[in-house]
Amino acid sequence: MTRLKKYRLFLFLLFGLLLLAILDQKLAIQSVELTGKSLLDMLLLLPPVFILVGLLDQWIKKETLIKYMGRGSGVKGILITLFLATVAAGPLYIAFPIAVLLLKKGAGVRNIVFFLGAWSTVKFPVLIYEFTSFGAEFTLLHITFGLLFFYLTGMLFEKIYTQEKLLQHDNTMKT
């Protein structure tokens, strides 16, 4: 029953798809195709990301991570967070389990908010698309403003949320 409950949103949407299929078959087929394509993309990206997260969990010591990404890690912390966020691939929801692991290992709240912000703003592979589609000025404005904004947001959120407060909700590791 609990397992079924986890899938209720999916089942609800499946019902929506069924309704659409009755109303407009062509659109429904297109939805299924698009869903299949993004599912494939996701299944392609997720396993290596989760394997890396699992390995990180086993091999990186808490003290090491606190030193590099914890409270008061300063410019070094910013640079490492930025590096981690921009080289990883995939949409933002993949970043959630990674962010939780980093929090567990002692990364500061400021760096975690910055990590999520940078993840959603700058991606090295995507940068090429942005640059060729919208030019250097646009890209530079986007990156500079986005990163600055999310770093300031991180400083603000650090005052509101503690690491413990954020971790008490986590269920990525629950069985």
Residues 33-72, interacting with other proteins (CB under 8 A): 33-36, 38-39, 41-42, 44-55, 57-59
Position 79 contacts other proteins (CB under 8 A): no
- Could you say which residues in the range 150-169 bind other proteins, by CB under 8 A? 150, 153, 157, 160-161, 165-166, 168-169
C-alpha torsion sign, points 127, 158, 162, 6: negative
Give the residue with the Cβ less far from other proteins, 43 or 75.
Answer: 43
Min dist CB 41 to other proteins, Å, is 6
- Could you say which residues in the range 126-145 bind other proteins, by CB under 8 A? 126, 129-130, 133-134, 137-138, 141-142, 145
Position 104 contacts other proteins (CB under 8 A): no
Residue burial 150-159, b: 16+ Cβ < 10 Å; e: rest: bbeebeebbe
Distance of CA 85 to the CA centre of its chain: 8
Min dist CB 141 to other proteins, Å, is 6
